[in-house]
Amino acid sequence: MRRYLVGGAVRDALLGLPVKERDWVVIGAQPEDLLAWGFKQVGRDFPVFLDPVCHEEHALARTERKSGRGYHGFTVNADPDVTLEEDLLRRDLTINAMAQSPDGTLIDPFNGQADLAARYLRHVSPAFAEDPVRILRVARFAARLAPLGFRIAAETRELMQAMVNAGEVDALVPERVWQELERALGEPCPERFIEELRHCGALKVLLPEVDRLFGVPQPPQYHPEIDTGIHTLLVLQQAVRRSTDPIVRFAALVHDLGKGNTPQHLLPKHHGHEQRGVSLIENLCQRLRAPRRYRELACLVAHYHTHAHRALELRPDTLLKTLEKLDALRKPQRFEDFLCACEADACGRPGYADRPYPQADYLRQALALCQNINPHPLTAQGLSGQAIAAALRSQRLQALRELASQTPA
């Protein structure tokens, strides 16, 4: 048996990045050999094993042949005579198709090291077109490596577009699309993921609600960028500056979906886009089977982000209703996430990136006042049930009236 370190561990080490996990390919062995040495098999579609000591993944060298549509339609050959170069040939990008022997020798049959130096994301072979997931992966690598200056090679972009035109993307299952989107949202430049999917035409298929935003005008006095799609990418960039949480970043991405179906005669204004956006987010999350926590925050941001922007102008009763609708008293951390996304929206415009957002602190003050009202004196008075709820609400409303009277509009 011969084993080689492969893929991301080799790539990241050459880039000087932290190596988070190490994967190995095994040449000249059969499953029975690894099982006899105490490895535990975990792969169902092809032979993957865990080292009994370090628990790192070891996969038998394999080739894949397209046998159907989508990314499940492959025939796998993991016979002992499969060579290292044949295994590397099936990989997606040249920078991921390098291996390293135990003595440190680099095996680079497809010039991955040269593409690392030139900062290119380039497909290894025409077999790239056999797996539509690779479109998502390449876009995600673009989002991850953008700070280092990486870009997708022209011929790879052309191949991705040809795959979309051939309908390959239609075969992607919702769970895999969501998995790649969620991972992309955690990358340093998730807006690049959206841009690259749009460039090859995949965004229109996978996230039509987001794709529809591009080219939709907004009032220039509030949005110097005018284009709603560009605004969305700017908001996502601002969310990245403020939070590492992909849930917050997802809310930023979809906060203005309602502007994508504003009736033409209303443009460039978007009256009612907040509620329209909620319906679109619910449909998108249901289609992609997104976790509930993503859907909940995104819907709240879509519905109430303009309330947040106008916080200093809200009447006390409207302010209290907003806090109640946001369930801010019971879920203060989600309320903070909401404020983060709203601030990203306000700053996601040319010239606004570093402007203060006093609305957030005002809303925090309002919540703190409501939290500080103690229900125990009301209980001591003999109140219970709805009577306590009404009295609490009355006291909170009075506290917000006092706050409003002390705060300049």
What digits encode the pLDDT tens for the residues 289-346?
999 999 999 999 999 999 999 999 999 999 999 999 999 999 999 999 999 999 999 9
Specify the CATH number for the domain of residue 56.
3.30.460.10
pTM, two decimal places: 0.91
Query: What token pair was written down for 304?
Result: 């109430």
Q: What integer pLDDT is reported at residue 403 of this predicted model?
A: 95
The answer to whether the CB of 12 falls within 8 A of the CB of 23 is no
Residue 272 domain flag: no
What is the residue type of 82?
A: V
Indicate the number of domains in the chain: 1
Q: What integer pLDDT is reported at residue 346 of this predicted model?
A: 98
Round to whole Å and give the CA distance between 99 and 105.
Answer: 8
Residue 287 domain flag: no
Residue 241 domain flag: no
Q: What integer pLDDT is reported at residue 252 of this predicted model?
A: 98
| DSSP category for residue 130 | G
Residue 79 domain flag: yes
Neighbours of 167 (CB within 10 A): 11
Rounded to 10°, the helix 316-325/386-406 angle is: 120
Residue 29 domain flag: yes
Element (H, E) at 300: helix 292-309
Note down the domain range covering 98. 1-112
Residue 49 CB contacts under 8 Å (≥ 6 apart), including other chains: 26, 31, 34, 35, 39, 40, 41, 42, 43, 57, 58, 59, 60
Round to whole Å and give the CA distance between 25 and 8.
Answer: 12
Coil, strand or helix: which one is 95? Answer: helix
Residue 279 domain flag: no
Residue 35 domain flag: yes
Residue 11 domain flag: yes
Residues of the chain with pLDDT under 70: 43-46, 66-74, 378-380, 382-384, 409
Round to whole Å and give the CA distance between 253 and 247.
Answer: 10
The answer to whether the CB of 335 falls within 8 A of the CB of 326 is yes
